Amino acid sequence: MRKLIVTLSLFLAFVVVLSGAVGAYFWQWLNAPIAYQAQYLQSVNNVYRVERGSNLTQIANVLAREQIIEWPKVWVLYARASQKTAVKVGEYKLLAGDTPLVLLNRLVSGDVVSYSVTLIEGSTFKDFLTALHAQEKLQKTLARKTTEQILADLNLDIQHPEGWFFPDTYNYIAGDSDADILKRAHKTMRKVLDTQWQARAQNLPYTQPYEALIMASIVEKETGVPYERDEIAGVFIRRLQKRMRLQTDPTVIYGMGENYAGNITRKDLRTPTPYNTYVIKGLPPTPIAMPGKEAIYAALHPADGEHLYFVAKGDGSHYFSSTLDEHLAAVAKYQKRRTSNYRSAPPVNTPTKNN
């Protein structure tokens, strides 16, 4: 009996020592830098991607096949014991000096690689889609769909997409879609417009925020230098109040659609479209571009004054006039003697003629 007890004691001691040695070995492994395969790193640009629906066991098996994790079961057991199994979808950088524990913590914390896309003020909805679909890491769920199909997919309470998406820089991760970004841009535009509408100036010729959004899009397209936004808005608002036609070239260009080839003629100015403000009275039916926050502010806080006309001077700025005679003289001065470096607006905007 005594011999049995001694034998069991020795066996248990051996088990304890062995367990301790095994535990120490695996603990050392968990904290030792991973010997990433140079060929693997080169092929994936130091990035490992966690796909949607993947669990930790699946990830461990993939990492083992790629010779990144030597003991996948040990890695998973440690993760379960420490309650670190909820990995986040996305792309993760594989960095020199990473240990299995560091990699696990990165996957659980969601320290993913992010990308960004910039949607520019004054761009159209079509331009926004082009910019989004040029992003390699963004899913193109809206490509080759009609406007009606896109609006149905986005499930937004709007009839026309133009003007309703806020121009800004948006960050995203691999696996996000064009629809994800457009929904964020629409939510931001709603918030900006509602906030600005609540703080609007008095006696404006708008009955609803959407009309201010339409005006802001025109101001955005007509503005060559930022400090003129409120002055340009003032001109258009006074023209509305006096029941004068807006007579702004960007609306004509928008109404021409694919027929616009870089220039507008007198015939174009006389050709009726729902957007030709040389023909129609009041605002066009929808915005003509995506206005930024400053243009929205200008549309709701126009400059006071008596100016009813403006003409591009050729350096991005405008000459403002209160009478038609003064305006015609300015047109003769600035429009009929254009120089080689003439420009009516920055490159992001569509060139305009005169108002």
Q: Please, what are the domains in the chain?
A: 22-109 (3.30.1490.480), 114-194 (no CATH), 200-334 (no CATH)
Per-residue model confidence (pLDDT) at position 21: 55
pLDDT in tens, 296-328: 999 999 999 999 999 998 888 999 999 999 999
Per-residue model confidence (pLDDT) at position 342: 38
Q: What is the pTM of this model?
A: 0.80
Tabulate helix, strand, coil % of the chain (nearest 5): 50, 10, 45
Please list, in sequence order, all residues whose beta carbon lies within 8 angstroms of the beta carbon of residue 274, skipping any fewer than 6 positions away: 255, 280, 284, 285
Q: What is the mean pLDDT of the chain?
A: 85
Q: What are phi and psi of 166, to 5 degrees?
A: -75, 125
User: Between 198 and 81, where is the model more confident?
Assistant: 198
Q: How many helices (H) and strands (E) does the chain have?
A: 14, 6
Share of the chain above pLDDT 70, in %: 85
Chain centroid offset of residue 177 CA = 11
Is pLDDT at 6 greater than 80 in this prediction? no
User: Between 312 and 32, where is the model more confident?
Assistant: 312
Residue found under tokens 């020199």: 96
Is pLDDT at 65 greater than 90 in this prediction? no
Is pLDDT at 353 greater than 50 in this prediction? no
Per-residue model confidence (pLDDT) at position 142: 95
Amino acid at 78: Y
Between the alpha carbon of residue 165 and those of residues 187, 283, 304, the distances in Å are 8, 20, 29
Q: What is the b/e burial string over 274-288, where b = at least 16 CB atoms within 10 angstroms of the residue's CB?
A: ebbbbbbeebbebbb
Per-residue pLDDT band for 2 (boundaries 50, 70, 90) equals low
